[in-house]
Amino acid sequence: MKVLVADKISSIGVDFLKRQEGFDVIEIFDLPKEERQSKLLELAPEVSGIIVRSDSRVTREVIESAPVLKAVGRAGVGVDNIDIKAATDHGVVVMNTPGGNTVATAELTFTHMLCGARPISQAVISMRDGRWDRKTLTGSELRRKTLGVCGLGRIGAEVAKRAKAFGMEVIAFDPYLTQSKADSLEIRPVELDELFEKSDFITVHMPLTDQTKYMVDEAAFEKMKDGVRIFNCARGGIIKEDALVKALQSGKVAAAGLDVYESEPLAEDHPFRSIENLNLTPHLGASTKEAQESVGIEIAEAVTDAIKGGTIRNAINMPAMDGDTLKKLSPYLNLCEKLGTLVQQLALDKIEQVTLTYFGKIVDLDADALTRSGLKGFLKNISGSNVNFVNALALIERLGIEVETIKSNVETDYTELIRVEATCRDGSSVFAEGTLLGKGDSPRVVNINGREVEVEPCGHLLIVANSDETGIVGKLGTIIGDDGVNIAAMSLSRNQVGGIALNIAVLDSPLSDAAVKEIRSVEAIKQAKVVHLEC
């Protein structure tokens, strides 16, 4: 298995990859940037993993040229240079290292804040020029000022902690900020407009998305206090550069600090370079020895685990699970997949919706992971080997099938129960329910379309609905035996005496088409379906 290291990461991380049995590590980061990109595309067809930083781009063209690619690792946080949708469509997991450079970026942000409050860079320049400009270099204290933090993830939270230590009042805007987290950090959550209006200092810690692009624009600056100070060590494009230039020149913004830009490297003639009250650094957020080693090792380990089929960590396009969680979930993931495959084969008409319902203690587990497994099983006979845990949700949405996940508090006869139901175009529906039995957590199907059964979802299942009358089981046994197929187990169920019975025969080998046709020709048999499940 070949792993391509396109951009330079810590040598410790590269050495870790090289020690993995069966790995062939290809390093191209010494090539010029333009040559590196073409080399990446050239090598893509043979690599199982790709590791990048911010220079190399993993485009749709690269991903579509890489049939054996399993994982793309970003040694850092931002994944703007990776086509996430293309990766998801092709079942490629994309991972980053959100924790490795957290402290480094938080400290750089705070450095910018201090340099924005006190004109340190201007003082350094004046001293080197032989001047002693004490009177013209008056600054401002952080103490008792209000800091507005846009985005309270890992880095934003670290900045908030440092601000509290400096005696600042901290307010924060984050659509996903819970009150409990805000309370633990001793900060006040606010809406974005209030943050703009109340803050003396503003820091940005959000990803660049359609929602956050130019989040700080001309209208935002109009809402801010005169003399506000603003800093961005997150992603270029969140602050509109033209608007910031005007705000600095007019005095609306007293000082600013940037580590990231809309286009990098920053153009030599960019107006930012001539503004004295603007401190600029060349994207140094993760540029500490400690951070570089941390993200290099972290992404090497993550890509290795992903390629080898182990724990998925810090995934962008799928639920990430640590080893303990994966171990706990594994039998349920297997059960969900089997139920999905079973229901898809039982459905007789075009399916318009798939509903996965969880009962009992299982509602406390990761429903996203369980649902993806159910959809993976459902799509197995539709999309073939292309479907996996990563792209199952995207593939089923592309088919126009709606997906609903329900965590139910309805009591059942089982400690944990999973139901997968398919609703067809004609309004009919098919469902199967399953649980885990015994010390070995053995999966069992315990209900099909309201009929209680008990069958292991493994191998070849003959599912027959027939009038409840004598002799049917004998006829089935005779036809199956004449076809040279052995019955390993059988489960019988009926709704009422003389009603409709359900017979499920677990077969050691597939039935021939002729045998299935003969079974369906029996007058009392209303429906007969052979379902194939992997063991």
Residues 6+ apart with CB under 8 A from 281: 108, 112, 257, 258, 259
Active site residues: 235, 264, 283
For 208-218, what is the mean pLDDT? 91
Residue with tokens 């402290």: 103
Residues 6+ apart with CB under 8 A from 432: 339, 342, 343, 346, 419, 420, 445, 447, 448, 449
- Residue 116: predicted pLDDT: 97
Instruction: For CATH 3.40.50.720, list the domain ranges present in the chain.
Output: 2-98+291-307, 102-280
Whether the pLDDT of residue 385 is over 60: the answer is no
- Residue 321: predicted pLDDT: 61
- Residue 322: predicted pLDDT: 58
More confident residue, 77 or 504: 504
Q: Dump pLDDT digits (tens) for 454-468.
A: 888 888 989 888 888
pLDDT category at 51 given cuts 50, 70, 90 is very high
Q: How far apart are CA 129 and CA 273, in angstroms?
A: 19
Per the prediction, the chain carries an average pLDDT of 90
- Residue 467: predicted pLDDT: 86
- Residue 76: predicted pLDDT: 83
- Residue 2: predicted pLDDT: 95
pTM assigned to the model: 0.59
The DSSP secondary-structure symbol of 318 reads: S
More confident residue, 336 or 321: 336
CA 466 vs CA 170, 523, 529: distances in Å: 70, 9, 12
Q: Dump pLDDT digits (tens) for 433-491.
A: 999 987 767 899 999 888 888 888 888 989 888 888 888 889 889 999 999 999 988 88
Determine whether domain 2-98+291-307 maps to CATH 3.40.50.720.
yes
More confident residue, 69 or 312: 69
Kindly report which listed range (140-149, 198-207, 210-219, 485-494) carries the lowest average pLDDT score. 485-494
Question: Among residues of the chain, what percentage have pLDDT more than 90?
Answer: 55
Instruction: For CATH 3.30.1330.90, list the domain ranges present in the chain.
Output: 323-533
Kindly report which listed range (34-38, 60-64, 281-285, 319-323) carries the lowest average pLDDT score. 319-323
Range from 3-17, 375-389, 398-412, 487-501 that averages highest in pLDDT: 3-17
Q: Dump pLDDT digits (tens) for 17-28.
A: 999 999 999 999
Domain with residues 323-533, CATH architecture: 2-Layer Sandwich (3.30)
pLDDT category at 524 given cuts 50, 70, 90 is confident
Nearest residue to 245 via CA among 277, 219, 209, 213 = 277
Q: How far apart are CA 166 and CA 142, in angstroms?
A: 7
Q: How far apart are CA 388 and CA 316, in angstroms?
A: 15
For 206-223, what is the mean pLDDT? 92
Directed axis angle between helix 367-383 and helix 323-346, to 10°? Answer: 40
Angle ∠(476,477,481) on CA atoms, nearest 5: 120
Q: How far apart are CA 68 and CA 60, in angstroms?
A: 15
Please state which CATH number belongs to domain 102-280. 3.40.50.720
C-alpha R_g of the chain: 30
